[in-house]
């Protein structure tokens, strides 16, 4: 049996969940000011940030004291890293989380209330600074340097506009010239024909990757076994996380209860999952892709088995589905509450 097939990045990303916030500009500028004040405290001068969990947790508590965050974080050091990683990604902080010259310039703009539009784009001064930083922001995707904002500008120039779904699911796959041109061509084609098929576009990109080709070949040529499934299970996790299903269930992963022992149904959400997909015009493959983006190893066949009540659903999978469809647990399990539009 071949060794486990390794994960390889196939998309770019900008920032982290720290970007999911209201009043984005204001939030960044407020945190920069708080970080500046935190760094200026006598006891914090010259302290290292990298691998200093105690210092990171202290920063989180400082944010909490200043009402920037609320609640009790289980891992305050981790939350502090998440809150600041986006600022580092766009060049407002260095690796040690000291404010850069660009970050200081942004603070100067914010504190002086100087949002003049005296630039060639005639946009507010802080927005112009963000624009320049985004142009410089780059991702290393398997040795290829990708500038996401430049890719975005190229796509908009070629297509005129991008829908929210095109921006979310197709644009991040543009990691090289060949893939980018193919995706732009595919978008033009389905706009002309009216036959939208994100699934085929996404699949065509993935199946050009050597590791996916290798996995498919093994699946076609090797006898199906638990070892095979583990070997072709392409994900970011280490070999330690590859636990056999019996061990996984014995370890306490909760599953949806059987509906009735007579029918043998293994979950309570199959019919509602079908309804939700149809209402959102979402194929099984696109739903699986959304789950994969969230870190769940689920493909179209898994969705089929769930919808036909032939597979249990874990609690963490249930949580992911409620977030994707923006419905409650009660609706997904029992259909009790009103579906959000």
Residue 141 bridge partners (DSSP): 144
Whether the pLDDT of residue 168 is over 60: the answer is: yes
Q: How many domains does the chain have?
A: 3
Whether the pLDDT of residue 255 is over 50: the answer is: no
End-of-domain residue from the set 180, 206, 232:
206
CA distances from 247 to 230, 243, 253, 275 (A): 13, 6, 10, 33
End-of-domain residue from the set 206, 230, 257:
206
Please list the alpha-helical segments (H only) found in the chain.
Answer: 24-40, 53-65, 76-89, 101-111, 125-136, 148-159, 164-165, 177-193, 198-206, 210-221, 226-232, 245-250, 270-279, 284-293, 300-307, 315-325, 329-334
Residue 234 in any domain: the answer is no
Whether the pLDDT of residue 233 is over 70: the answer is: yes
User: Of the given ranges (15-19, 91-95, 259-263), which has the lowest mean pLDDT?
Assistant: 259-263
Q: Which is more confident, 76 or 25?
A: 76
Find the helix or strand (DSSP H, E) in which 146 lies. Answer: strand 144-146
Residues 21 and 122 in one domain: yes
User: Of the given ranges (183-197, 244-258, 264-278, 300-314), which has the lowest mean pLDDT?
Assistant: 244-258
Query: Mean pLDDT throughout 155-178?
Result: 94
CA distance 337 to 211: 43
Residues 46 and 108 in one domain: yes
Residues 120 and 152 in one domain: no
The burial class, CB within 10 Å (0-12 / 13-18 / 19+), for 336 is exposed
Whether the pLDDT of residue 100 is over 50: the answer is: yes
Residue 224 in any domain: the answer is no
Query: Mean pLDDT throughout 121-139?
Result: 92
Q: Which is more confident, 297 or 53?
A: 53
Residue 225 in any domain: the answer is no
Ramachandran region, residue 23 (left: φ > 0; alpha: ψ -120 to 50; beta: rest): left
- Model-level pTM greater than 0.85? no
CA distance 149 to 331: 38
Residues 21 and 132 in one domain: yes
Q: How would residue 1 be classed by pLDDT, with cut points 50, 70 and 90?
A: low
Q: How would residue 238 be classed by pLDDT, with cut points 50, 70 and 90?
A: low
End-of-domain residue from the set 136, 162, 185:
136
| Tens of pLDDT, residues 47-96 | 999 999 999 999 999 999 999 988 888 899 999 998 898 899 889 999 99
CA distance 214 to 216: 6
Residue 127 in any domain: the answer is yes
User: Of the given ranges (14-28, 194-208, 220-234), which has the lowest mean pLDDT?
Assistant: 14-28
CA distance 174 to 181: 8
Per-residue confidence (pLDDT) for residue 56, from 0 to 100? 96
Helices 101-111 & 24-40 angle (0-180, nearest 10): 110
Per-residue confidence (pLDDT) for residue 47, from 0 to 100? 94
253: CATH: 1.10.260.40
Residues 130 and 143 in one domain: no
Residues 33 and 50 in one domain: yes
Residue 219 in any domain: the answer is no
Residues 158 and 48 in one domain: no
Residue 69 in any domain: the answer is yes
Domain that holds residue 264: 243-334
Residues 317 and 254 in one domain: yes
Residues 21 and 131 in one domain: yes
CB 116 within 8 Å of CB 122: no
Q: How would residue 331 be classed by pLDDT, with cut points 50, 70 and 90?
A: confident
| Residue of 221, 131, 218 lying closest to 230 (CA atoms) | 218
Residues 107 and 197 in one domain: no
Whether the pLDDT of residue 278 is over 50: the answer is: yes
Whether the pLDDT of residue 260 is over 60: the answer is: no
Whether the pLDDT of residue 31 is over 90: the answer is: yes
| Tens of pLDDT, residues 169-217 | 999 999 999 999 999 999 999 898 877 778 889 989 999 998 889 888 8
Per-residue confidence (pLDDT) for residue 17, from 0 to 100? 64
Residues 110 and 147 in one domain: no
Q: Which two tokens stand for residue 144?
A: 């290829």
Residues 114 and 148 in one domain: no
Q: Which is more confident, 59 or 246?
A: 59
Whether the pLDDT of residue 337 is over 70: the answer is: no
Residue 93 bridge partners (DSSP): 99
Residue 227 in any domain: the answer is no
Residue 6 in any domain: the answer is no
Whether the pLDDT of residue 244 is over 70: the answer is: no
Q: What is the mean pLDDT of the chain?
A: 84
């Amino acid at each position: 049996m071949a060794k486990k097939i390794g994960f390889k990045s196939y998309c770019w990303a900008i920032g982290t969940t720290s970007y999911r916030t209201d009043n984005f500009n204001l939030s960044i500028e407020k945190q920069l000011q708080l970080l500046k004040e935190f760094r200026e405290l006598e006891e914090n001068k010259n302290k290292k940030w990298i691998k200093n969990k105690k210092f990171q947790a202290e920063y989180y508590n400082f944010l909490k004291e200043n009402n920037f965050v609320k609640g009790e974080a289980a891992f305050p050091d981790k939350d502090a890293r998440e809150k600041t990683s986006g600022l580092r990604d766009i060049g407002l902080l260095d690796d040690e989380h000291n404010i850069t010259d660009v970050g200081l310039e942004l603070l100067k703009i914010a504190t002086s209330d100087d949002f003049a539009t005296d630039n060639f784009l005639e946009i507010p001064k802080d927005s112009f600074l963000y624009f320049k930083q985004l142009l410089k922001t780059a991702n290393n995707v398997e040795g290829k340097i990708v500038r996401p904002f430049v890719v975005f500008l190229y796509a908009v120039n070629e297509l005129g506009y991008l829908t929210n779904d095109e921006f979310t699911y197709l644009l991040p796959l543009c990691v090289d010239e060949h893939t980018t041109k193919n995706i732009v061509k595919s978008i033009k084609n389905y706009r002309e024909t009216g036959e939208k098929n994100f699934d085929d576009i996404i699949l065509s990109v993935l199946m050009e990757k050597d590791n996916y080709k290798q996995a498919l070949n093994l699946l076609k040529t090797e006898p199906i076994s638990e070892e095979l499934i583990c070997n072709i299970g392409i994900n970011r996790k280490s070999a330690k996380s590859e636990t056999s299903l019996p061990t996984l269930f014995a370890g306490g992963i909760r599953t949806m209860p059987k509906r009735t022992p007579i029918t043998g149904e293994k979950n309570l959400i199959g019919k509602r999952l079908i309804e939700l997909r149809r209402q959102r015009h979402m194929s099984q493959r696109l739903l699986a892709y959304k789950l994969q983006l969230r870190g769940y190893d689920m493909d179209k066949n898994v969705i089929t088995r769930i919808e036909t009540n032939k597979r249990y659903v874990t609690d963490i999978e249930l949580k992911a589905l409620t977030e994707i469809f923006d419905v409650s647990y009660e609706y997904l399990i029992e259909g009790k509450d009103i579906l959000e539009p």
